[in-house]
Homo-oligomer: A and B are copies of this chain.
Amino acid sequence: MKAEIVSIGTELLFGEIDDTNATYISRQLTSIGIDVNLRHAVDDELAHIVQVLGTAMRRSDVVITCGGLGPTPDDLTRQAITQVTNRALQTVPAAEQQLRDFFAKRHRKISSTNLKQCQVPRGGQLLDNPVGTAPGLLVEHEGCVLIAVPGPPPEMRLMMTKHVIPYLRKRLQEQGEMPLFTRTLRTADIGEADLAEQLKDILANQSDPALALYASPGEVRIRMHTKAPSQQEANKKLGDLENSIRQQIGEHVYGTDDETMEVAVGKVLTAAGATVVVAESCTGGLIASRITDVPGSSRYFRGGYVTYSNELKQQLLGVPAQILQQHGAVSEECARAMAEGARESSGADYALAVTGIAGPTGGTAQKPVGRVYIAVADEQGTICQQFDWPGTRSQFKHRTSQMALNMLRKRVLGLV
A289: which of B22, B37, B40, B285 is its contact (CB, 8 Å)? Answer: B285
The CA of A394 and the CA of B293, in the complex, are separated in Å by 7
B23 touches A36 (CB 8 A): no
Distance to closest chain B CB from A44 (angstroms): 10
Known contacts A12-B39, A37-B13, A304-B285, A23 near B30 by CB under 8 Å: no
B306 touches A285 (CB 8 A): yes
Most interface-central of A17, A25, A41 (chain B CB within 10 A): A41
In the complex, which residues 302-318 of chain A have their Cβ closer than 8 Å to any Cβ of chain B? Answer: 302-309, 311-312, 315-316
Distance to closest chain B CB from A360 (angstroms): 6
Copies of this chain, count:
2
Q: Which residues of B contact A283 (CB under 8 A)?
A: 289, 292
For the residues of A in contact with B, the DSSP-based class is mixed
B42 touches A14 (CB 8 A): no
Per-residue 0/1 for A3-28: is the Cβ within 8 Å of any B Cβ (1 yes, 0 no)?
A: 00000001111111111101111111
Q: Which residues of B contact A293 (CB under 8 A)?
A: 284, 393-394, 397
22 A-B contact pairs sorted by A residue (CB < 8 Å):
A11-B214, A15-B23, A15-B24, A15-B25, A15-B26, A15-B29, A15-B36, A17-B23, A38-B52, A39-B42, A285-B285, A285-B286, A285-B287, A285-B306, A293-B393, A293-B397, A297-B308, A303-B308, A303-B312, A305-B305, A306-B306, A315-B345
Q: Beyond A15-B27, A18-B18, A285-B288: 4 further Cβ-contacts under 8 Å?
A: A10-B212, A284-B289, A295-B358, A295-B393
